[in-house]
Amino acid sequence: MTETRVHGYIRVSSKDQNEGRQIAALKEFGIAERDIYIDKQSGKNFERPEYQRLLNSIRNGDLVVVLSIDRLGRNYTEVQEQWRYIVNELGADIKVLDMPLLDTRVNGDNIDTRFVSDLVLQILSYVAQKERENIKERQAQGIAYAKARGKHIGRPKAEYPVNWRQVYNLWHNQKAITAKEAMERTGLKRNTFYKLAAKYEQSKEK
């Protein structure tokens, strides 16, 4: 008889988001690190390299474990499609650690518990998508509100320091100080200093 292999799947939305909590939860469940697949990108679709590698590794009777349902994705329809593909087509089980009802090993045979499991899956995947849509809507409303009040969105524009002209002349025209000294006197970082210098030179040419 083939031994059940347990796979763990993790998704974080970007490289800036830490996957440590999910890794710890999967390891605590007993999953080997070599069997944990990690994608660091959006969950809005399933064109993710590690997720595709996971699907290719699954065999009949295996178990796929995720910390929460939204790690599979945030699209209501696709989450359900992928769930049923893994369970029905690949013949594997799925367990969601933070929602014990979502465990096909327990709920697979009894028609009543299977109905509850399917219902919970539909509700949670719907809620996950709605939250994603609400976040986008709130972000758009916040940007629109800020723009209406005349606020600049994004990084603030670099401004010339009060001693800019004096320091610029010493550095650029008189060659009396180095660029490094000019940066120190103006309190500007290298990129900002040269950006302002280029802008200042362009303004003088007009």
Residues catalogued as catalytic? 13
Alpha-carbon distance values, 48 to 13, 40, 173 (Å): 12, 9, 55
Task: Name the nearest CA neighbour of 73 among 95, 94, 48.
Answer: 48
Alpha-carbon distance of 206 to 101, in angstroms, equals: 70
Question: Which residue's structure tokens are 């069997």?
Answer: 35
State the SS3 of 50-96: HHHHHHHHCCCCCEEEECCHHHCCCCHHHHHHHHHHHHHHCCCEEEE
Question: CA–CA separation, 99 vs 8, rounded Å?
Answer: 15
Provide CB contacts within 8 A for 139, sequence distance 6+.
none
Q: Rounded to the nearest 5°, which phi and psi values hold at 136?
A: -60, -40
H helix or E strand, kind and range, residue 39: strand 36-40
